[in-house]
């Protein structure tokens, strides 16, 4: 067996034990949950994800790239999902966009990703050519017939033409900031 595979298996066992201890000592919940490595979830924008079957949490998926990092980084991400399991067990809201869940994560000193991608995303960006205010973020480039940079459409802020900035990478913090701004409009 290769060293890399051994490290991943050891880390999965370590994470499973830590989740059970965390639930037991922090929430007084005795709940056995499996921890799995998953190569696909990072492409979907997640680092960790709780697996539910018939409305009950049965496992935690962890991105393979995370399993090769330091124990502290892995542990913080997996404990995030352990908090979700605890909230489910206490019959409290545990969704990513929920304020109560976010407050519990903050109380435990764990990262809150909101409803956007954990790892960030590359998005086609359309902005005001003068003040650079972002107006549109799209996963796919708009066709010329709908592209505001090609058509003669003017921005409401500066009344100048739109500009296409290309495909720009936004990390989770920037995506959360943009999502908050969009909700306020």
The pLDDT value given to residue 86: 96
115 domain-assigned: no
Point out the domain boundary residue: 72, 107, 142.
107
Q: Are residues 99 and 125 in the same domain?
A: no
Q: What percent of the chain has pLDDT over 90?
A: 68
So what's the pLDDT on residue 1? 58
Per-residue pLDDT at 5: 87
Q: Does residue 99 lie within any of the structural domains?
A: yes
Residue 97 and residue 14 share a domain: yes
Point out the residues of the chain with pLDDT beneath 70.
1, 185
Looking at 58, 79, 107, the residue that finishes a domain is 107
- Residue 114, in any domain of the structure: no
Residues 88 and 130 grouped into a single domain: no
Give the tens place of pLDDT for each residue, 105-157: 999 999 988 888 888 889 999 999 999 988 889 999 999 999 998 888 899 99
Strand partners, 137: 125
Q: Are residues 10 and 92 in the same domain?
A: yes
Neighbours of 167 (CB within 10 A): 13
Of the three residues 107, 140, 160, the one that is the final residue of a domain is 107
Asked if 165 contacts 126 with a C-beta cutoff of 8 angstroms, the reply is yes
Euclidean distance between CA atoms 185 and 182, whole angstroms: 5
Check residue 183 and give its pLDDT.
Answer: 75
Domain that holds residue 138: 121-184
Q: What is the DSSP letter of 112?
A: -
Q: Write down the pLDDT at residue 114.
A: 86
pLDDT given at position 116:
86
**Which residues make beta-bridge pairs with 93?**
none
| Long-range contacts (CB closer than 8 Å, 24 or more residues apart) made by 63-72 | 63/37, 63/38, 63/39, 64/8, 64/37, 64/38, 64/39, 67/7, 67/8, 67/11, 67/12, 67/37, 68/4, 68/7, 68/8, 71/11, 71/14
Q: Is residue 116 part of a domain?
A: no
Could you tell me if 157 and 96 lie in one domain? no
């Amino acid at each position: 067996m290769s060293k890399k595979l051994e490290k991943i298996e050891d880390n999965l066992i370590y994470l499973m034990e830590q989740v059970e201890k965390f639930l037991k000592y922090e929430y007084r919940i005795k709940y056995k949950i499996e921890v799995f490595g998953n190569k696909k979830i990072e492409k979907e924008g997640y680092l960790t994800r709780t697996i539910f079957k018939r409305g009950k949490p049965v496992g935690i998926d962890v991105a393979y790239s995370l399993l090769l990092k330091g124990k502290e980084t892995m542990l913080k991400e997996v404990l995030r999902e352990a908090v979700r399991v605890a909230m489910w067990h206490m019959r409290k809201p545990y969704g990513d966009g929920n304020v109560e869940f976010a407050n519990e994560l903050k109380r435990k000193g764990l990262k809150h990703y909101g409803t956007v991608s954990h790892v960030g995303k590359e998005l086609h960006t359309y902005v005001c050519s003068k003040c650079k205010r972002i107006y549109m973020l799209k996963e796919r480039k708009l066709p010329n017939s709908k592209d505001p940079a090609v058509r003669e459409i003017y921005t409401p802020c500066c009344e100048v033409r739109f500009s296409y900035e290309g495909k720009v990478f936004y990390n989770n913090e920037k995506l959360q900031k943009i999502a908050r701004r969009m909700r306020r409009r």
